[in-house]
Structure 1
Amino acid sequence: MDTQPVSGIPSVPVPHGTTPTGDGVVIGVGAVDVDAYIDFQCPFCKQFELMTGPLLDRLVANRAIRLIYHPMNLLDAVSTAAYSTRAGAASGAAADAGRFREYTRVLFENQPAEGGMGLSDGQLVELGREIGITDPAFAETIRTGRYLPWPRYVTERAIARGVAGTPSVFANGVPVAARPGAIVSAVHAVLA
């Protein structure tokens, strides 16, 4: 677990495996950076993950892309208990456990409806257990709120980049429609 300086605000703790700026979790190695800005409360992000996730996994496995997820907290206002922030922070704990990608998927598969509390911290811990996270540090990180400042930081950096909503996708810095065909075309254009 690292603490990296954040320009203009105090340092925030960031999970293992983040970008040098600490605002995204890196998965894989590849010639093309694909940045995915998501919010775990966002129903469109759930659709994006369920529709595009298998393709992104194949591109990572084939070493075509370096996938970078940026868990934002844009939709905290539609939760009575800041669910976007809490889920984003829990995903950071999963990154520390080396299971960020699997945890992202299970969070979207169990996405609560907008307008309520969202999943409890205990439920967030249980989802980690369901995907094989057994290290007690995972639950402890969620319960102590270690990464609660991180999604706000990710969101501030995303907004500064011009991200206005989720899901937003970029291929080597160029905006791309958050659909499988558009992502494949963008990756192939960069690799060509």
Structure 2
Amino acid sequence: MRGRLSLLILTGALAAGCTSQGTVGPAPGAGSGPGASTGSHSSATGAPTSGSSPSGTASGSQTGGGSVPGEDATVVVGTGKVKVTIYEDYRCPPCKAVHDQLQPVINAKLAAAGIQVEYHAVDLVDHSGSGGKGSLAAANAASCAFQAAKFQPYREALFAAQPADETVDAFADPAKLISVAQTVPGLDSPTFEACVRTQPFAGSIENTYTAEFASNKLQGVPSVLINGTQWPVPSSGDLATAFKQALAAAGA
């Protein structure tokens, strides 16, 4: 199964996304129905949880589900009753565009204990015509940062450092991911660097791709689900306002 980055056109809203169909088309979720609410590892017992802290603290390592061994790459933040599930790829420009608009809303809802957010970083672009290994490497590094209680700051730094062109596989170089970590106070350490280089979360990340994208349960990234139902991404208007309205309708 191959994925491909589609064209992103933002005029105050998301118009297209990174699809797994190998074609340029509408963003996943634009007028879509229910989607899978969890990745292949999110149901693992005792997945790391950070309470309501937006930075995240790890509560230990798990075994990722599926046939590929590895630590569970699922990141869960917050304790609210409304569950938001996000699938994203740090090489994918549409993921950055959606993140930039939704993250202030997410931060506010986390601070108010209104939502729980489950993050799945995936390697869709690596499986596309662009090839490479940067999506997988960056996703693994984000879970390494979660272990160090620096997930959100490092996630922000990854998106800020994202090459504008998806074909530039800069994140495949461990030195690049470590240099990004050096911009997050208190993150870079021998433990973090070893985690970046050995990629203990790689099996879990690959399993999520296989379970959710190669199987066509989800059509592309970014995919955002609210209480297990894929959120239809608006084709016009204010994305943040639409997201807030959707969360309010769900009880957050």
TM range, smaller chain: 0.7 to 0.9
The structure that is strand-richer by fraction is 1
Structure with higher Rg: it is: 2
Q: Following the alignment from structure 1 to structure 2, what is the Cα–Cα distance between the partners of residues 143 and 5?
A: 19
Measure the CA separation in 2 of the matches of 1:161 and 1:102: 31
Q: 1:10 to 1:152 in 2, by over 3 A?
A: closer
Structure 1 residue 182 displacement after superposition: 2.8
- Find the partner of 1:55 among 105, 111, 123: 105
CA distance, structure 2, for counterparts of residue 60 and residue 78 of structure 1? 36
Offset from partner CA, 1:64-91 (integer Å, 9 cap, x none): 1101111011100354531111111111
Q: Distance in 1 between matches of 2:77 and 2:198?
A: 25
**Is 2:195 the counterpart of 1:141?**
yes
Equivalent positions of 1:19-98 (< 5 A) are 24-76=74-126, 77-79=128-130, 81-98=132-149
Measure how far apart 1:141 and its partner are.
0.4
Q: Shift of residue 5 of structure 1?
A: 4.9
1:189 equivalent in structure 2: 249
Q: Deviations over 1:125-156 (max 9, x none)?
A: 12112112043211110012222223212222
**Partner secondary structure for residue 120 of structure 2:** strand
1:127 aligns with 2:186: no
Structure 1 unaligned segments of length 5 or more: list them: 16-23
Question: d(CA) in 2 for partners of 1:161 and 1:184?
Answer: 28
TM superposition score normalised by structure 1:
0.86
Report what 2:61 is aligned to: 2
**Residues 5 and 39 from structure 1, CA distance in 2 versus in 1: closer, same or farther, beyond 3 angstroms?**
closer
Question: CA shift at 1:62, angstroms?
Answer: 0.8
Distance in 2, matches of 1:29 and 1:161, equals 30
Q: Give me the CA root mean square deviation.
A: 1.9
1:138 & 1:191 partners in 2: Cα distance?
Answer: 37
1:105 is aligned, of 133, 153, 156, to: 156
Higher normalized contact order (CA 8 Å, seq sep 6+, divided by chain length): 2
The structure richer in helix per residue is 1
CA distance 1:68–1:61, shift in 2 (3 Å)? same
Residues of 2 paired with 1:6 and 1:75: CA distance? 22
Aligned residues: 183
Residue 224 of structure 2, aligned match among 169, 184, 191: 169
Contact 1:40 1:88 in 2 (8 A): yes
Q: Which runs of 5+ in 2 are unaligned?
A: 1-59, 234-238
Secondary structure of 1:11's aligned partner:
coil
Partner deviation per Cα, 1:90-138 (whole Å, 9 max, x = no partner): 1111111111111111111110221122232112012112112043211
Alignment of 1:6-21 (within 5 A): 6-7=65-66, 9-15=67-73
Cα deviation, residue 161, structure 1? 7.8
